[in-house]
Each structure stands twice: as C-alpha cells, then as structure tokens.
Structure 1
Amino acid sequence: MSEAWRRLGEPRAGGVLLIGDHASAHVPDDIDLGIDAALLREHIAIDIGVAEVAELLVESGAVDAAILGGVSRLVVDCNRDEDAPGAVSVASDGHAIPGNALDHDGREARMARFFRPYHDHIAATIAAHRPAMILSLHSFTPSLASDPEQARPWHVGVLYNEDDRLAAPAIAALAGEGLTVGDQLPYSGKLLNATMNRHAEANFIPYVGIEMRQDLVGDAAGQRRFAGQLSRMCNKLALNLAG
C-alpha cells in the first residue's frame, strides 16, 4: 500500500491484471489545487465507477489483481508520458486548476511522490508475476462541459494502439452483451495510451483498454451489471489467448 497506488487481490503469473490509472479522487491534505471541492466528484477528477467495478472483478475471480491510482488525476495524471504537459494539468474541461501552476521543482516533487512510484509498482508487479493479459479500465463522461454538442452515445469504448490482439474479440464480446461499443471511441488508443504503451506493449503483453460510460456505472446496480459483462468478456479473451 502506498499513497501513490492501491492494490486489490494477488497478482498471479499467467493471470489477469487490471490497471486503473484514474480510480481515485483523493487529494492529499498538503496539496491545494485551488478548486471547488465539488469538482472532485466530477469526471475531471476521477473515472467514476472504476474502483467499484475493479473490486467486483477481483472478488469474482475474473481478475486476479488490480492496481489503482492512489490520487486524483488532477494531482497527477498517470496515463500520460512523464514529460507531457497533461501529466500535471493547469486546466481540465474548461476548469482552471491554479494549484498546478508549478515551477520545475514543484512538478518534479509531484512526479517523484506519485507518478514514478505508481509506475514502478506496476513494473515490479509485472516483472514478478507476468500476466497473460492486462485490462486497462477507465470511464468517460456522457458529455463534456467544454463541448456539449459532442454526441457520446456508446455504452463502452475499446482502446488499443499497435497491439490489437484482443481488440476485435473484446468488441465482439461486449457487443454480444447488447452494448453499443465504440471501436477507438470516445478516444483513440493511438493517441492516448501511455500506461499501456509503457507496461503492456513494451513487454508484448496482450491488453485491452476499456472505457465505461460513467452514467452507466454511477450506482451499485450499474457497477454490478458492468462487472458481470466485463467478467464474461475476460473469460472469452482468456479462451481466445489459449486458442
């Protein structure tokens, strides 16, 4: 356990590892972001539903272990390259984050305290217990305040970059659940895939990025429903890998 990450379950060589970069809205007491506390309940601060769905997947045995980010993405966004401006963002979806206007030393301190320990723990876990598959779990808002006209009708998105071994089977499995599936939507894994590029693609470990629509996982019933759908998807992907 660390302030930079939280682990659920026990990693297993040849198992399934879940990674949730944005599963927490926690802001340490000694960090002042300079924002209304109500924003910490919004999508700019946390991927709503991810922690709860991850816990259910571990409890069900569909996933052996989950590594979840320990702080809000507004403190540090671990699904970015370390030198990317968005790793410590000064604005998100039209909201200024004045506490993130850091000098070099301040930014370096954030990276050393949160970003690097998080990724170091993932790397060490993979090195000690190489999984057969990694599930990257995120959620997306149905609408952006900065672009309210943008339609986001998908129930779930499937993201990937160069390694697309699990993409088509995942899309088929989720479509078979009756979900409207976005292939590389609402984002593209070709453009935003930093954690999976680093820990999955660089190690040639099959993976899939899943983006759940937040209004579908905002309560316990929706979280249970999505966990069941993702559990069945994981089982099908495991069979696909075994075949």
Structure 2
Amino acid sequence: MLGTAWPAAALIGAAGMAPIVLVCEHASHFIPPEYGALGLEGDALLSHAAWDIGALDVAKCLSTRLDAPLVAGQVSRLVYDCNRPLEAPDCIPARSELIDIPGNAGLSDTQKQQRFDTVHTPFHAVADQAIDRQLARSDAPFLLVTVHSFTPVYHGQRRTLDIGYLHDRNSRAAEAALKIEQELGVFQTAINEPYAARDGVTYSLAKHAESRGLDNVMIEIRNDLIDTPATAETMADHLAKTLKQVMENLTSSEAVKT
C-alpha cells in the first residue's frame, strides 16, 4: 500500500509552547520511489517546481526562535500539493510553469484519490493535532503561519517583491505584519502578492484557521533571498521579530475587546 514506507509530514519542535503553529507544505522535493520520479530527471527534480526552495530552512529557524511547533511536508508537491483540495486542477500538476510532469498526466480519479489519501490526509491530520495541542496549552491569541517561497522570475517576468504577507478572509495578522515591515524599511513587502486567495493558495489557512476563527498569515519569500542555510537564517531572524510584534498586536487587540 502506498504511503506506508514514508511519512507525509514531520512535526518539528513539538515541545514548543508559543500559541503559534508553523506549517510548511512544500518543504520537501522527495518523490517516493514507487512513483518513478514522475518521469523527471536532473535539475527538474530539485527545482522550485518540486518544492519551495529555502522555505524549510526558514521555517525550522522560526520554530526555534518562536518556540513554536512546525508541521513540514515530507513529499514533493508534484506528488500532491498539500495546499490544494482534491478538486483543485493543480493539486497534482501535469505541468509546472515550464516543466512537464509525465507521471502526472492522464491520472484517473482513483489515482488522484489515492495520492490525496496518502499525502494530503495524513499531512493535514498532523497539522490539526498540532493546532489542537497549542490551543490547549494557552488561552492567548493563536496564530497559524504558513511559510512559502516564490521564484525571482516567473514566466519570463522578474519579480521585485521580497516578502508577501497573504491572507484569506481574516487580514489582521497580514496587515499588522505589513505595517511593521514598512516601518522597518528593510525589505520590499506587500499584502497578497505575488499571489492571493483568488489564486487558490490560502487553502491551508482556510482549512485550519478560518474554519476555527483563528488568526493566520501566509508568508511568501523570494527564494534567491533564502537559498542558502545562512541567508535563510538571516531571513528567519528578521521574520521572527516581525511575527513577535504581530503577536503583541493581536494580544493588545484582544485585551481592548475584553
């Protein structure tokens, strides 16, 4: 049976006490051997099509600095994109920007369901459990943070954005983060760039936070800023300071309400 020899998710920093859960859906480029590399070879297997370059390094550093658990995907998004529902046309992409994925072409509904059951379902079960645990540990305002990266060039267009803060319906954390970033003036930042909810990228936020009335934010980082362990750590140091201030703002807002 598929999925028995490899985990869909890893829980890192489970002892963390902060009312925060970090999620990195696209943390790995691992393609289980039973999928035959999906017909890919060479650079394609390590490219941004297969995973979010640098995102795991940033997320792991954030886990340490924030004392927060991290749920990290252990399977390439080319097998199944855990930030997409089964009905999304790109949950198992047959093409990713300029790269064709032969092993994803012409899949039957049964084959798609099997990928969903063996990758998506256990991944999100780990995320649910991590959130339940953190909510039970504290009555402080809670924040779900998903960590992603994006390419400097997309379909031939160069991107100048450094960091994007994305949100689904609840914009409080994203707006607080943007205000903090603008005051610091270190990076070029924006809300809902280079993607937004309309692009289908806030699935995890909606599934785990919006459904519970919890604050949330998705962080998108240009991957040439975090493509080495050292640069990823530097970015994590910056983001940790921003997120701590966001949490202070959320706490202050809750205090005013009461």
**Does the alignment reach a TM-score above 0.5?**
yes
Verify: 1:53 aligned to 2:58, yes or no: yes
Alignment partners' CA distance in 1, 2:185 and 2:53: 21
1:2 Cα offset (Å):
5.8
Aligned to 2:31: 27
Which structure has more helix as a fraction of its residues? 2
Verify: 1:242 aligned to 2:238, yes or no: no
The one-letter amino acid of 1:195's match is S
More displaced stretch, 17-26 vs 121-130? 121-130
1:116 Cα offset (Å):
0.8
Aligned to 2:73: 69
Aligned to 1:156: 163
Verify: 1:82 aligned to 2:86, yes or no: yes
Alignment partners' CA distance in 1, 2:44 and 2:35: 15
Question: Any stretches of 5+ residues in structure 2 without a counterpart?
Answer: 136-140, 253-258
Alignment partners' CA distance in 1, 2:110 and 2:205: 27
Q: CA RMSD in A?
A: 1.8
1:190 Cα offset (Å):
3.8
Work out the number of aligned pairs and report it.
239
What is the SS of the residue equivalent to 1:212? Answer: strand
More displaced stretch, 115-124 vs 64-73? 115-124
- Which of 145, 148, 162 is the aligned partner of 1:135? 145
Aligned to 2:206: 197
Q: TM-score, structure 1 length as denominator?
A: 0.93
Verify: 1:165 aligned to 2:172, yes or no: yes
- Asked whether the equivalents of residues 4 and 71 of structure 1 are also in contact (C-alpha less than 8 Å), the reply is yes
Alignment partners' CA distance in 1, 2:248 and 2:149: 25
For residues 77-116 of structure 1, the aligned pairs below 5 Å read 77-101=81-105, 102-116=107-121
Alignment partners' CA distance in 2, 1:21 and 1:108: 19
What is the SS of the residue equivalent to 2:204? Answer: helix
Alignment partners' CA distance in 2, 1:63 and 1:187: 28
What is the SS of the residue equivalent to 1:134? Answer: strand
Question: Any stretches of 5+ residues in structure 1 without a counterpart?
Answer: none
CA displacement 1:91-124 (0-9 Å, x = unmatched) = 1112111101221221121111111111122122
- Asked whether the equivalents of residues 6 and 32 of structure 2 are also in contact (C-alpha less than 8 Å), the reply is no
Alignment partners' CA distance in 2, 1:63 and 1:186: 28
Aligned to 2:11: 7
More displaced stretch, 77-86 vs 170-179? 170-179
Alignment partners' CA distance in 1, 2:15 and 2:229: 25
- Asked whether the equivalents of residues 54 and 149 of structure 2 are also in contact (C-alpha less than 8 Å), the reply is yes
Alignment partners' CA distance in 2, 1:233 and 1:78: 26
Alignment partners' CA distance in 2, 1:15 and 1:92: 35
1:54 Cα offset (Å):
1.3
